Structure 1
Amino acid sequence: MTLVNKSKLLYQLKLANQELVSRFEKSTGFSITRYEMLLFINAQGPCSQTQLQQELGIDRAAVTRHLKRLQDLSYVTRKRNDLNNREIYVQITDLAQKELADCEQHHESLEKDLYFGLSDEEEVQLLTLLNKINK
């Protein structure tokens, strides 16, 4: 593939990302990063901010900013590790669990807002390809 074609491919990915993230955030009321954080904490249980940083591939300052916002919304609690004061553990609240469940329950109505123009099989293929690129 020529450099020009690679540039066009990357630019189309950028545009698709902007559009789809915007649709997701309008439909769910969550930023995509905060939603992924909540999903991880919900599945993992209480975890350190470092674990979140590694899982999401974002810098420490971004994790702190997102968690501050989630804490302000009463979606997470943060507590320092008694044995290592520099380490902070994050736990999801009942309110956040309810909000996540509501999002999942309303997935059917969100589906049309988040319609990508792809079949379920194509969405799985795209996810597989993107995971391959991001490794």
Structure 2
Amino acid sequence: MFLHMRAAGEDFSEIVSQNLYRFPGGVTHSFTGTAEERINGCSLKTKENLEIVGGIPAERLMIETDSPYCDIKNTHAGIQFVKSIWPSKKKEKYEPGLTVKGRNEPCLVRQVLEVVAGCKGIADIEGLSKTLYHNTCR
């Protein structure tokens, strides 16, 4: 089961808690709440978001790009950790081999990995990648 939650932490937690016995397993995503409401992950936009990411155990974390339009922007706090950049063009001028500017292409999951590693102070990004991959398979 894959559950989407945004701006409904209290209700979401209550519903899941009341029905936990019905779930053999699952994942929640698109978390935008406080550290107390933390269930899954969060946006990488604010300093508070980055602090919340830092508090999620790596063994409980999966990452995604949230395609198509939730890319990491220059105004987001997480941008400080981004090292990988792909050439892009506006969608009207698309060229094969380039990403579409402003669209969160699947290859950009690498940027999410870099931000998560930075938030957690993890230098071994490949090791973190393997842990997250294992979490996803599990």
Q: State TM-score, norm by structure 1.
A: 0.26
Higher helix share: 1
Q: Say which one has the larger Rg.
A: 1
Taking structure 2 as the reference length, what is the TM-score of the superposition?
A: 0.26
